[in-house]
Structure 1
Amino acid sequence: MQKARGVGVIYLSLLLALILTVTPMPAMVQLFRPDWVLLVLLYWVLALPYRANIGMAFVLGFLVDVLVGTVLGVNALAFSVVTFVVASNYLKIRNFSILQQALLIGLLLAFYHLMIFWLSHFLTGVYFLPDYLWPVLTGTLAWPWIFWLLRRVRRQFKIS
């Protein structure tokens, strides 16, 4: 019962992140939207790497592709690669301070966005605009708050 509730809370947080990803926003604010799904997924990979893994990252990336309307598989591949990096180093990353984690998450978000651009350029011929990197800044700034909120949820529901 406890285990099922924990998995339900993880899936509910990821569903909320998916909803935040497709929530309509004004065009000016749209540029700054953090990558909610990736941030929440990275928290769960750091906190519970045996529950949130690369397979979950691939499925969530595919769902983001479908919901946002990008080429199928682009986000799935990028989510999987970034999740692999975090999952293979989760013990080291856990020991970082929250500021160090935010900086590392910022680097991973930059890597994610550059990978998305590279794949999109290869497949559809889009050109790079500096505006592509605004979510990196907002995601880096949002990480401490997401970390604090999800840690509180994890402790309140005793998810392990």
Structure 2
Amino acid sequence: MNFIVIGLSLLVAMVLAMLPMPLLFDPFRPDWLALVLLYWSLALPHRVSVGVAWFCGLVMDILLGSTMGVHALALTMVIYVAALNFQKIRNFSLWQQSAIVGLLVAAKLMLVYWVEHVANSVAITGHYFFPALTSAAMWFWLFPLLRRLRRRFRIR
């Protein structure tokens, strides 16, 4: 049952990442998959860690049609840092966690941009890092939601 709930939450995050949005709001789309992976890697680092992040990143590469391995590499690096410091991050207040989540998502975006720039010569736009800000803001909503889900289904 534990793997089903975690897997469904990751699947919902991937669907939210793929849902079409109006062009005006699309630059502000939070990085749902990174947020959900960060929560599970902080809450259950023995269950969700680098391997799950790598697999989810490969799935996102396929879904988004990006260079194979870009999101896998970026998510793996971010989740590695989070899992390495999970005991420190879990003791921070929600505001501090939100700031750390924003920085980790910004690092993920920078890594994705760097690899895509090297591989495909893509240019950065002014709104490229907005998802880091909206992801930090969404942490205040997503963290209690996933915590309630974890406690309801007694996921350990």
Instruction: Determine the structure 2 residue equivalent to 1:37.
Output: 33
Q: Distance in 2 between matches of 1:109 and 1:130?
A: 16
Matched, 1:46 2:37: no
Alignment partner, residue 148 of structure 2: 152
Residue number in structure 2 paired with 1:22:
18
**How many equivalent pairs are there?**
156
Secondary structure at 1:79 match in 2? helix
In 1, Cα distance between equivalents of 2:128 and 2:62: 20
Q: CA–CA distance in 1 between the matches of 2:124 and 2:8? A: 34
Shift of 1:7: 1.2
Structure 2 residue 60 is the aligned partner of structure 1 residue 64:
yes
Q: 2-side partners of 1:24 and 1:130: how far apart?
A: 21
Whether 1:80 aligns to 2:76 is yes
What TM-score results when the alignment is normalised by the length of structure 1?
Answer: 0.96
Q: Runs (4+) of structure 1 moved beyond 3 Å? A: none
Letter in 1 for 2:33: V
Give 1:144 shift: 1.4
TM-score, normalised via structure 2 length = 0.98
1:25 & 1:127 partners in 2: Cα distance?
22
128-137 or 79-88, which deviates more: 128-137
1:115 matches 2:111? yes
Q: Percent sequence identity over matched residues?
A: 46
1:92 matched to 2:94 = no
Deviations 1:66-93 (A, max 9, x none): 1111111000000000000000000000
Check if 1:141 corresponds to 2:137.
Answer: yes
Task: Please tell me the residue identity of whatever aligns with 1:145.
Answer: W
Report the RMSD for the aligned CA atoms in angstroms: 0.7
Deviations 1:34-61 (A, max 9, x none): 1101100100000000110101000000
Deviation at 1:148, TM superposition (A): 0.5
